Structure 1
Amino acid sequence: MTTKIAFIGFGGVGQALAKLLDERSQSLRNKYGLETEVVAVSDVMKGSIYHPDGLNTQKLLDTVRETGNVENYPDQPGIIKGWNSLETIQNSNADMIVEVTFTDVKTGQPAIDHHKAAFENKKSVVTTNKGPVALAYNELNELAEQNGVFWGFEGTVMSGTPALRMPVTTLAGNEIHEIKGILNGTTNYILTEMEKGQSYDGALKKAQELGYAEADPTSDVEGYDARYKAAILSNYLMGTPVSAEDIPCEGISNITQEMIQQALKENKKWRLLARVTKENGNVTASIKPEKIDADDPLAGVTGSTNAILYECDLAGPILLTGAGAGLIETGYSLLIDIIHYQKQNALAKI
């Protein structure tokens, strides 16, 4: 059975997924029985288009690349243009909503409303938006379960590196009593550049030039991005809701070159660490720079790489490293979720 997909948001990540689905359609069909068809796109900047029988993905990508607007897609009978995001979710025949809009992390909007509309209309959702998972996990998870639909958000913590599904599946049976990690590549890049002698301002400027940091780097350097990811880890892996706003948070903007060099003399390194700890049934979380021993596994993680260490009661410490950003990697995280959705559907039919 073909999975009909509607993209809500069609920036770099959405286009990367569309390209993956198109280029790998045969192998996805052969390996997983996964057949997909893009029926709709709704994007605030790039317009909106819907056809119940599907759109040609390559034509869609070419249209966006050449004109910047999906509504310039060649006309054909049955095409509808101009729907907003909620109309696309509610009125299209999509089975799966790919929610990749630009969302305010402080409010989780408009992504939270997109999720609610999808679930209420019995449509599954895959997303890379942190806001809905960090701020409304319990409400949205309950709504998805009530309506018997799938919700995938693998890419919200470490992009295409499976920081969420890996511990749930391959570490099943373990009690994870602490998760600590480097969950922001921008800050890790800055700190490792400072270890090479760069000033904080110089390292930040270089990170911006390379596209690791935004023009306004506040969310990264003050630890807010990592704080939302810590909330997601607590919600999903520890089974305990922790409000992002309640997580103590300190960034790296006060780290000086002198502090970096002093740590190196002590055979230590500064890293911005997210910690989520479960003790006696209580879960606490924090984000702050920590001076850790040079032989600590996380001290060896350099540049923009992310890493996460799961402290397990049976398996011991398990370290997972990988890219925490990138268009292809983030698009791939959505593909992971769609494949998992397909596997669940296949099992349900047995």
Structure 2
Amino acid sequence: MKVAFIGFGGVGQALAEILQDKKESLKLQYGLEPTVVAVSDVMKGSVYDPDGLDISTLLDAVREKGRVDAYPNAQEYDWNSLETIEKSNADMIVEVTFTDVQTGQPAIDHCVAAFKNGKSVVTTNKGPVALKLDELQALADENECFFGFEGTVMSGTPALRLPRTTLMGNDIYEVVGILNGTTNYIITEMEKGLSFDQALKQAQEFGYAEADPTSDIEGYDVRYKTAILSHYVMGQKVSALDIPCQGIADLTGEMVQEALSEGKRWKLLARIKKTEEGIEAQVAPEKIDITHPLAGVQGATNAILYECDLSGPIMLTGAGAGLKETGFSLLIDMIHAYQVNPKIRV
């Protein structure tokens, strides 16, 4: 498998490290021998060598000089992202750019270019999947390409693959999830006595929250993940902007402590339910009983509960963020692509 990275921030570098560290086990267990042939990053430059780049040298160039084009003796150094997709000999594009989730760009354009050029894509960007899944999947299928996006909902915790594979045969009639670690961390700290502002500041200091935490605390991040789950798991396309969405900005310490005194806990929940009229989806803080399976999920952890007609409730919990965890989600898709897509194995 020849791999080109489009975007090479923390997640891309984490995946590159994994590919280096797991080189022997990937070959032994799966027959997979990935070779990184190109990197293109809008801030760090680009580099291409059809015979492969040495990952250690590549990472050293980025970490010591902040540039992938500090890599020595490659064939090309000046391709932009689309040129890298179109001109390189990669058969797998790892799309991990900084993308506007509301427009899905530039990731959508990268996916389209890859598929039109017969190249598979794995991505952790929510925008393309939430906004254009049907169109992108159709284009991928038309060109016999693989499209992987496991990491778009719960990072390295397989919230998409589990219901589509392990839970096959079930009718999943409701999905409820804690899909944002930042807000769950804030609520957990408020239960310990911190104010909302104190808990948010602490989340930012620990790297759970961005300098601008709006997407997290207003629920927008969860809303796009809810749209992906509705479409991919429940089979009903719902526009993210049509999903009622309320965040935790109005949650006070008094409300949190009052809930605890009642034997309840506040959680920011994504809820998707099949009804006779179709799918109902929403994102909102809910006060749930302390005995609810999701009530015990603390800190920056994510969790999702699938209500199934045959197996009953199945809950999956794990990290919903983190560089290595997100890099792992891309690796899951790469291994799966290698197993199911004959073009990659040629």
TM-score by length of 1: 0.97
- Quote the residue 2:82 is aligned against: 86
For 1:33, the equivalent position in structure 2 comes to 31
Report the alpha carbon displacement of residue 346 of structure 1 after superposing the two structures with TM.
6.3
- Pair 1:283-2:284 in alignment: no
Residue pair 1:122, 1:149 contacting (<8 A) in 2 also: yes
How far apart, in 1, do the equivalents of 2:73 and 2:308 lie?
56
Mark the runs of 5 or more structure 1 residues left unpaired by the alignment.
Answer: none
2:303, 2:316 within 8 Å by CA — same for their partners in 1?
yes
**Does residue 1:97 correspond to 2:93, yes or no?**
yes
CA distance in 1, matches of 2:111, 2:14: 21
**Corresponding position of 2:328:** 332
DSSP 3-state at the match of 1:269:
strand
**Corresponding residue of 2:118:** 122
Report the CA distance between 1:345 and its aligned residue.
3.3
More moved, 19-28 vs 320-329? 19-28
**Alignment match, 2:221:** 225
2:340 aligns with one of 334, 340, 344: 344
Call closer, same or farther: CA 1:331–1:72 in 2, change over 3 Å: same
1:164 aligns with 2:126: no
Q: Distance in 1 between matches of 2:67 and 2:112?
A: 27
2:9 corresponds to 1:11: yes
Instruction: Give the alignment partner of residue 210 of structure 1, picking from 206, 210, 214.
Output: 206
Q: Give 1:111-150 correspondences, 5 Å limit.
A: 111-150=107-146
1:268 aligns with 2:264: yes
Tell me the distance in 2 between the aligned counterparts of 1:141 and 1:58: 34
Please list every run of 5 or more consecutive structure 2 residues that lacks an aligned counterpart in the other structure.
none
Specify the code of the residue in structure 1 equivalent to 2:6: I
| CA distance in structure 2 between the partners assigned to 1:337 and 1:313 by the alignment | 28
Match of 2:237 in 1: 241
Q: Distance in 1 between matches of 2:228 and 2:18?
A: 26
Q: In structure 2, what residue type is equivalent to 1:48? A: S
Q: Distance in 1 between matches of 2:207 and 2:255?
A: 26
- The alignment covers a number of residue pairs equal to 345
Cα deviation for residue 51 of structure 1 reads: 1.0
Judge conservation of contact 1:269–1:299 (CA < 8 Å) in 2: yes
**Alpha-carbon distance in 1 for matches of 2:312, 2:271:** 17
Deviations 1:128-164 (A, max 9, x none): 0000001111111111111110000000000000000
Percent of aligned pairs with the same residue? 68
Equivalent residues of 2:337, 2:344 under 8 A apart: no
What's the RMSD between the two structures over aligned residues?
A: 1.3
The one-letter code of the counterpart of 1:63 is A
Amino acid at match of 1:277: K
